[in-house]
Amino acid sequence: MTIRTRLALQFGVILAITLLLFSVVIYFFTFRARREAFTDNLFDRALVVGHVYADGANRADEASRGSYRRYLRQFYRTLPEEQVRVYDGARVVFKEGAGPYQPVTAALLAQVLAQGRVVRREGHYRQTVGLRYHDARQQRTFVVLASSLDADSRHELETLRVILLSGLLVSLVAVGIGGWFFAGQALRPMQRIVREVDSITASDLHQRLSMADGQDEVSHLAQRFNRLLDRLETAFAGQRTFVRDASHELRTPLTAIIGELEVALLQQERTPQEYRRVLRSTLDAARLLKDLTNGLLQIARASDDPSQISRTQVRFDELLLLAHEEMQRRHPTCRIDLEFGESQPDGRTGPFTVLGNEALLLVAVLNVLENACKFSIRQNQPIVASLTAPPGRVSLEVRDQGLGMSETDRQQVFVPFFRAEAVRNVPGHGIGLPLTSKIMELHGGRIQVESQLGRGTQVWLILPFS
């Protein structure tokens, strides 16, 4: 079912229920008002009968009493199926009306004498009322019973039902047509958005939805979708750049390996020293290829869902010592000085404790330290790694006095395979800092880089305290 159909149906159902309830309320209160008015009318007529009967009963001559009875009989032929009886005790002293008389019980007469006014309803439209009437001149009490059929109300209420039902049906038809039309008008911007979205493919992610300049919900949806397209375009561009640069980097060692092997196969006989040189060169290219592949694998792993990465309590000071030991093995001539600030444990964890994946955090620290060693190899100043614990976080600062980089290059250091102009002659692949940045992002931390060309570089790794 389309949204247009669902909106039209929902609007029609809501209006139908509202009109139905409104019609029921109108009919109910009209019915009650007419019934109560008919009851009051019967009581008024019973009171008139009491007055007239008592006045006629007080007449001295029989002719006057007879004329009053004839007057009553004429008076009580004005309501449909109207009947009247006057009881003196249990004896009927006057009766008039059309149709068979319904039997009257002694209990009903006693109830009228006790309460003064009694109403009995037979069905929806027939009523019988009982009125206690006291004749002050003769000191006698009569019971007047009057009953009639409210035919006028029955006719009027039947007409009202027809009018209400007809109006309800006509309203539903009109609302159905109008709801369908206005739902289509309201959803027309959505249909336009659907057409524009269908026209966007992976090759033209630069296109944007044209209805993002308003303030309604459709404009907000278009704005959110345009932001999604911005992120997708950036991701696709980064992916294309990553694939292009990775292919270029992978091709270099592979070309070297293939070239060495082809040259070796061109000569029939070679000395053992030549074979050793070819194998050594091939081994170096293979190691370079392995390092590059491992770096790409680590970047892919660091890009995974953070919820899928196991986390434990990690002592960052111990991790730094482990990374320092590894760097002394890789670069024996590189001097790295460690500085540890004060950290206050929270009673549950030790100092410099963070929550994270130890293997990934070790890779991040090693990448920063190795970059510092590679780019400071011709400098006499040592590298300083300072670990501090500001409120709520753990911060590792690595300072070197190496080559540094320009501000333009610094802004590109987190792009995979990017190499600063000043360090193009230093071996590397340009994946260390991008990998470190992703690792920090996975752990809820961040990395900051400050550098000046010819004056060294400062790198901060900042993680939330566990």
Domain match, 242 and 315 both = no
The CATH number assigned to the domain holding 205 equals 1.10.287
Q: Identify the domain boundary among 302, 318, 335.
A: 302
Percent of the chain at pLDDT > 70 equals: 79
Domain match, 133 and 27 both = yes
Domain match, 315 and 460 both = yes
Domain match, 26 and 123 both = yes
Question: 0.95 cut: is pTM over it?
Answer: no
The position carrying tokens 């159905």 is 176
pLDDT at position 225, please? 80
The segment with the largest mean pLDDT, out of 31-40, 83-92, 287-296, is 31-40
Using DSSP, state whether 93 is helix, strand or coil: strand
- What is the extent of the structural domain holding 257? 201-302
Q: What one-character-per-residue DSSP string does 398-429 give? A: EEE-S----HHHHTTTTSTT---GGGTTS---
Confidence of residue 21 (pLDDT cuts 50, 70, 90): very high
Measured CA angle at 373 (ends 371, 376), to 5 deg = 105
CA distance 316 to 309: 18
Among 236-250, 261-275, 310-324, the minimum mean pLDDT is found in 236-250
Q: Identify the domain boundary among 97, 122, 157.
A: 157
Q: pLDDT by residue (tens digit) across 445-454?
A: 889 988 888 7
Q: HSE of 235 in the Cβ direction (CA atoms, 13 Å)?
A: 8
Who wins on pLDDT, 319 or 439? 319
Among 114-118, 168-172, 239-243, 253-257, the minimum mean pLDDT is found in 239-243
Give the sign of the dihedral formed by CA 163, CA 164, CA 166, CA 171.
Answer: positive
Q: Residue 1 pLDDT > 70, yes or no?
A: no
Residue 411 in domain? yes
Residue 182 in domain? no
Total domain count, the chain: 3
Q: Residue 300 pLDDT > 80, yes or no?
A: no
Region 420-441: mean pLDDT is 71
Residue 279 in domain? yes
Confidence of residue 62 (pLDDT cuts 50, 70, 90): low
Region 359-366: mean pLDDT is 84
Confidence of residue 347 (pLDDT cuts 50, 70, 90): very low
Domain match, 315 and 388 both = yes
Measured CA angle at 209 (ends 203, 211), to 5 deg = 170
